[in-house]
Amino acid sequence: MKPSADVLEIVACTLLILVSFVGNMCLFYSTRKCMTGRLQTSFLLIFSLIFVHLIKNLVVNVMKIVYSSGFMLDSAGCKVVHFTAALTTSLAIWFMLHFALLYHQKLYQTVHPLSEAPIPDHQKHALKVVSALWVAGVAVYLPVLLYTRRSEYLGAGNDTDLLSTKRIHKDCLIDFGNKQVEFYYGKMFLVLIDILPLAILVFVCFWMSFLLSERKKMTYGDIWMGDDDSETEILRGAKFSILLMWLITPLWISHFILVSFLKDLAACVFFPAVLTVLSSGFSALSPFLLMLVNYKMKLVSFCGAKEEKPTAQPANVILSPYA
């Protein structure tokens, strides 16, 4: 007997919740151990991503399990599912872009140290930027929260019709009541606020790949050069950004394409589970990828540069500009 779409979606949601919870908790613990002083920008962004990932899985996927188990959602439940899913997806993209821009700037200063532009102190404004992104996300998706409603024909269809039961994307509708608002806001604006940051993220990560390859080819004659803790952190952050770009971009594009062809694929028994995996895959896999990068670089956790007491140097020793 073939499993039903509801069973497959319950299994997918359960696995994603478990994997995401374990991974994000391990990432939180390993990152928390690195903190020795004020909160660094990279740590704040990682904690923000962890919080967004946990919200997506513990709210959206849990409600999907409840719904697929036979409990119908009222209008309030539909609002929570749509609003939370859309908000957490956009925030994950925005935080990843902020993370990539941070390490791109640091990497550029490392590869081109003679640049006159100093590295700004991101820590002074990090909390304000993260808070502004949260406020902007809530403001952007507030109409989704207001105009989402439960479908009026819920329960009126034939129980044997796969398209009339157990489909959140059909039973929870977003009705703006105006075709122009639906087109410009629902189909244009909401897509652009995700796809534009993704496009910038891809561009920045390709630029970082070029900078990394350029750094490998650099020679400094007889001048000693070594990677200190700060430079190691920059290289690690850049590689992590590139790796996650290759994860979040295909997942978002695949999810967008499937939703665009929703009418043609809705009858497929695997369709709800596939949509769930695509929408929550980043929140489940990204913590393990971060820890994998750290393992490959023989580091226990994503620690930044640690402050060390300066040691006295002989007067006749020429210091490296990177020491």
Instruction: Find how far residue 258's CA is from the centre of its chain.
Output: 20
Looking at domain 5-212+227-296, what is its CATH homologous superfamily?
A: Rhodopsin 7-helix transmembrane proteins (1.20.1070.10)
**Quick one: pLDDT at residue 125?**
79
Inter-residue contact 284 to 276 (CB < 8 Å): no
Sequence spans of domains, the chain:
5-212+227-296
**188 DSSP assignment:** I
Instruction: Give the tens place of pLDDT for each residue, 7-26.
Output: 889 999 999 999 999 999 99
Please check whether residue 34 is in contact with residue 43, taking contact to mean a CB–CB distance below 8 angstroms.
yes
User: Has residue 297 got a pLDDT over 60?
Assistant: no
Condensed to tens digits (0 to 9), the pLDDT of residues 216-273 reads 776 554 444 455 567 777 888 888 899 999 999 999 999 998 888 766 665 677 888 8
Looking at residues 43-60, what average pLDDT do you find?
93
pLDDT of residue 164: 38
**20 CB-near residues (< 8 Å, 6+ apart):** 53, 54, 56, 57, 280, 283, 284, 287
pLDDT on residue 139: 96
Mean pLDDT, residues 122-133: 83
Contact criterion met (CB below 8 Å) for 238 and 288 = no
| pLDDT confidence of residue 161 | 41
Q: What are the distances in angstroms from CA 212 to CA 135, 208, 247, 304?
A: 34, 6, 19, 19
| 3-state DSSP assignment of residue 151 | coil
The tokens 């369709």 sit on which residue? 271
pLDDT band for position 301 (50/70/90)?
Answer: very low
Task: Share the mean pLDDT of the chain.
Answer: 79
* 242 token code pair: 């590139």
Give 195-248 as a 3 state SS string: HHHHHHHHHHHHHHHHHHHHHHHCCCCCCCCCCCHHHHHHHHHHHHHHHHHHHH
165 has a pLDDT exceeding 90: no
Q: What pTM does this model have?
A: 0.83
